[in-house]
Structure 1
Amino acid sequence: MTANEDQEMELEALRSIYEGDECFKEISPVSFQFRIGDLEDSKAFLLDITWTQSYPESAPNMSLDAFFNNRIASETKQLIMSKLEEQVEANLGTAMMYTLFEWAKENQEALMENHQPIVTAVTLAPSNDVTANSSAAKKKEKKEQLTKAQKRRIISRTDNKGELPRGWNWVDVIKLSKTGGKEED
């Protein structure tokens, strides 16, 4: 069989095996992502694999450069990649995607044994909320902008001291009794 026929057969197999599996994602017919571990697990990682033209006779391109893996130290990434490359060498010439994914799942603990999550700005979001709240408080202290028409109305209602006359917001009881009161028989 040619490399393309092997790739087509393996692609069909992967689609049927991982149908509905949220850990597996087919980016294109030759590029795949597989998440090892649960989303909440700090030792989870995302493996990107892209087939070369001559795959499975030659090794696929693998990477751990996804944003999901930003919290993993580069030493840990290098360890994972070297162990995966050993598996690729052992399986050259055969369809190996399923084997790689399952091997990584089975050996996740050993691969992530020395993993210490890297603290990034993304994890420090709560401390940024404090500055956001203080800037929001500063915005609230700022006076409301009025239009020229609103300013004219205020000036026409106020006296020379800038105060509203006594009773400016009183309700006219006589008008209410004519318009909004209950009718008496």
Structure 2
Amino acid sequence: MTANEDQEMELEALRSIYEGDECFKEISSVSFQFRIGALEDKNAFILDLTWPEMYPETAPQISLDAFFNNRISAETKQLILSKLEEQVEANLGTAMMYTLFEWAKENQESLMENHKPVVTAVTSSSDATSATSTAKKREKKEHLTKSQKRKIISKTDNKGELPRGWNWIDVIKVASEQNGRKRR
């Protein structure tokens, strides 16, 4: 069997196994994503796997660069990748995607046991000054006269909201005016 025939068979198997599974995503016929853990799980991560031309005779490319994984430290990512590469070496020459996904699911706890979420908070002095300037802007309110306030209140409903179409142009009036101009 050629590498392409092996890939086609494995692709068909993956589609049937993971049909309807929200954790599995087929990016292309040679590129896949699999989420290990639930979305709410702080130890969840996404595996990106891509088949090179000679897969399964050559190892798939494994990546943890998905945006979902930004909170995982570089050390934890390296640990996960090294453990997965051990599994790849053990299964080289055979269809291994299902094996890798299931191994990662079963070993999620041990892979993520030293995981400390990365928190990225970027603040700069310009952010701080813009926050104080917006606070000053909020202090200044436009003062309305009593008649302006009455006019606004008369237009609003009991919830304080303006009715739908309150600022629409009277279409019939405008259309009739335009028709009158055309006739002249």
Counterpart of 2:39 in structure 1 is: 39
Counterpart of 2:90 in structure 1 is: 90
TM-score, with length taken from structure 2: 0.70
AA of the residue aligned to 1:11: L
Q: How many residues align?
A: 141
1:133 CA displacement: 9.9
Structure of larger gyration radius: 1
Consecutive unaligned residues of structure 1, counting only runs of 5 or more, are 145-162, 170-185
1:136 CA displacement: 6.6
CA distance in 2 between counterparts of 1:2 and 1:90 reads: 20
- Give CA-to-partner distance per residue, 1:23-60, whole Å, 9 cap, x none: 00000000000000011111000000000000000000
Counterpart of 1:51 in structure 2 is: 51
AA of the residue aligned to 1:72: I
AA of the residue aligned to 2:121: A
Is 1:141 the counterpart of 2:140 in the alignment?
yes
Counterpart of 1:7 in structure 2 is: 7
1:140 CA displacement: 6.6
Is 1:105 the counterpart of 2:127 in the alignment?
no
- Give CA-to-partner distance per residue, 1:106-125, whole Å, 9 cap, x none: 00000001001111239x9x
Residues 134 and 36 of structure 1, relative CA distance in 2, 3 Å threshold:
farther
Identical-pair percentage? 77
Structure 1 segments, 4+ long, off by >6 Å, are 131-134
Counterpart of 1:76 in structure 2 is: 76
SS at match of 2:25: strand
SS at match of 2:71: coil
What RMSD in Å do the two structures reach over aligned CA positions? 2.8
1:141 CA displacement: 2.1
TM-score, with length taken from structure 1: 0.69
1:137 CA displacement: 6.8
CA distance in 2 between counterparts of 1:44 and 1:85 reads: 19
